[in-house]
């Protein structure tokens, strides 16, 4: 909105020229998103407490979680409102990719919110139910895949990290591939969201990493120099990456150990969904396996554990899946697991950035 309102004034007041720059708008969008979350936080937490939207803790989980019972959940509402408001304020709203990213955020929020609402307010223990939830996610993933596919000049070739000369063209199949990336990330972030700050930390790290990729991918000269796919108008996604990081830091203020609030599916599903969408738009889809490697490791630990459990009729690879529970049960204090997982995430992000220079 600021871009449209204020940049147009640059002919009279030259200062307003700065609103043209993605870098300038990204910085202020990030700060705005942080402030919205930070200011809304106490009020959201109080409201959730009043409505008694408190977390139920499963008895079969690690004992250290029992005293978390009653912590307000659905705190994702503050992250998502902050993402939506700050994006609407700072992004170029004539950019189609911004609307695709906002639709993805809104759609996954709706699914996550409905699930939490049924569980927390209607006290329906299964929420939406696993099957309806995944079907809705796939449908939304396909819609976003289709909208991206039909964007003029959008390439259906995929980028393989470290192999700049190999980029298979999926054609129409790109829609299904995009849906897979988006839905997979949405669920992986959800699985990771099991310790204070554990999911939001790597979400912030991934958003900052993609901020860099979005910027270079939308810059014709930089993209050419680094030999990565140039996405016309894709640079605007930098703003939304900053917004996610800012809102994430604002939420972390309250979600840091010991958490005053959990994000719920209201936060975890859209945060994963939007990261997947950004990976698709910036044409760095496979790179998300490295950038969001921590989410992949957590999801893989569940897949391995559940498969092994079924095949061996009751035996386990890990003490408990997802992986963070394994380390908790080994006796690592919760903050140690969290910070060590963040460290892994930072290292993976650096590895991802190195792909810009390594073929
Ligand atoms: C959500 N949610 C947390 C909170 C958060 C297939 C199976 C592996 C699925 C998996 C599962 O359901 N995962 C999805 C994980 C829950 O947090 C809520 O859920 C929201 C995210 N959707 O925002 O509202 C609990 O996590 C803790 N928490 C924090 N701090 C936070 O900032 O401490 C969350 C956020 C909260 C709180 O305790 O209550 C969750 O873990 O339920 N299931 C599991 O993860 C279960 N694993 C399991 O059953 N493993 C089995 C295998 C064979 C499937 C095994 O290894 O034996 C564990 N979940 C729990 N307890 N709660 C088991 C133990």
How many percent of the chain have pLDDT more than 90? Answer: 82
Task: State the pLDDT at residue 359.
Answer: 67
Q: To test the ligand 1 pocket, which listed residue (63, 66, 72, 194) has its Cβ within 8 A of the most ligand atoms? A: 194
Comparing CA positions, the residue from 237, 236, 100, 231 lying closest to residue 153 is 231
The Cα 123–Cα 153 span in angstroms is: 47
245 vs 55: which has the higher pLDDT: 245
Cβ within 8 Å of residue 318, ≥6 positions away = 301, 304, 305, 325, 326
For the beta carbon of residue 77, count every other beta carbon within 10 angstroms.
21
Per-residue pLDDT at 215 exceeds 70: yes
CB-based pocket (< 6 A), ligand 1: 55, 57-58, 60-61, 65, 68, 73, 190-191, 193-196, 255, 259, 262-265, 268, 302, 305-306, 309, 316, 320-322, 325
Q: What is the pTM of this model?
A: 0.96
Residue nearest to atom 12 of ligand 1 (CA): 191
The Å distance, Cα 322 to ligand 1 centre, comes to: 8
Q: To test the ligand 1 pocket, which listed residue (45, 114, 126, 193) has its Cβ within 8 A of the most ligand atoms? A: 193
58: pLDDT confidence band, cut at 50, 70 and 90? confident
The Å distance, Cα 191 to ligand 1 centre, comes to: 7
pLDDT (mean) for 36-44: 97
Residue nearest to atom 8 of ligand 1 (CA): 302
Residue nearest to atom 22 of ligand 1 (CA): 265
The Cα 81–Cα 45 span in angstroms is: 14
Q: Which residue has the tokens 């999926």?
A: 170
Task: State the pLDDT at residue 245.
Answer: 98
Where does the chain have alpha helices with state H?
2-7, 22-50, 76-90, 96-120, 130-149, 174-192, 200-217, 220-226, 237-255, 265-281, 288-291, 293-311, 323-329, 334-354
pLDDT digits (tens, 9 = 90+) for 145-190: 999 999 999 999 999 998 878 889 999 999 999 999 999 999 999 9
pLDDT digits (tens, 9 = 90+) for 46-56: 999 988 777 77
């Amino acid at each position: 909105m600021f871009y449209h309102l204020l940049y147009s004034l640059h002919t009279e007041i030259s200062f307003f020229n700065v609103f043209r720059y993605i870098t300038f708008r990204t910085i202020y969008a990030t700060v705005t998103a942080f402030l919205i979350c930070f200011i809304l936080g106490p009020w959201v937490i109080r409201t959730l407490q009043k409505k008694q939207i408190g977390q139920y803790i499963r008895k079969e989980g690690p004992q250290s979680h029992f005293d978390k019972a009653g912590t307000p959940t659905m705190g994702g509402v503050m992250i998502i409102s902050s993402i939506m408001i700050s994006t609407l304020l700072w992004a170029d709203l004539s950019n189609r990719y911004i609307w695709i990213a906002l639709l993805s955020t809104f759609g996954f929020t709706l699914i996550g919110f409905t699930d939490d609402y049924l569980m927390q307010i209607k006290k329906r223990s299964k929420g939406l139910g696993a099957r309806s939830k995944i079907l809705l996610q796939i449908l939304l993933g396909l819609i976003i895949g289709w909208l991206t596919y039909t964007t003029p000049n959008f390439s259906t070739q995929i980028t393989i990290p470290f192999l700049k000369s190999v980029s298979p063209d999926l054609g129409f199949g790109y829609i299904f591939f995009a849906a897979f990336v988006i839905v997979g990330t949405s669920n992986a972030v959800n699985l990771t969201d099991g310790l204070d700050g554990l999911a939001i930390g790597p979400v912030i790290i991934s958003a900052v990493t993609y901020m860099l990729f979005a910027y270079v991918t939308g810059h014709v000269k930089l993209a050419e120099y680094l030999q990565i796919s140039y996405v016309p108008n894709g640079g605007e996604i930098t703003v939304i990456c900053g917004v996610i990081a800012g809102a994430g830091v604002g939420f972390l203020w309250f979600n840091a150990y010991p958490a005053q609030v959990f994000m719920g599916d209201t936060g975890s599903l859209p945060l994963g969904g939007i990261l997947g969408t950004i990976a698709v738009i910036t044409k760095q889809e496979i790179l998300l396996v490295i950038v969001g490697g921590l989410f992949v490791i957590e999801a893989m630990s569940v897949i391995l554990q559940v498969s092994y459990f079924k095949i061996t009729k009751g035996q386990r690879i890990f003490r408990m899946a997802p992986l963070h529970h394994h380390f908790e049960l080994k006796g690592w204090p919760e903050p140690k697991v969290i910070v060590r997982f963040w460290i892994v995430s930072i290292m993976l992000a650096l590895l991802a950035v190195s792909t810009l220079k390594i073929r």
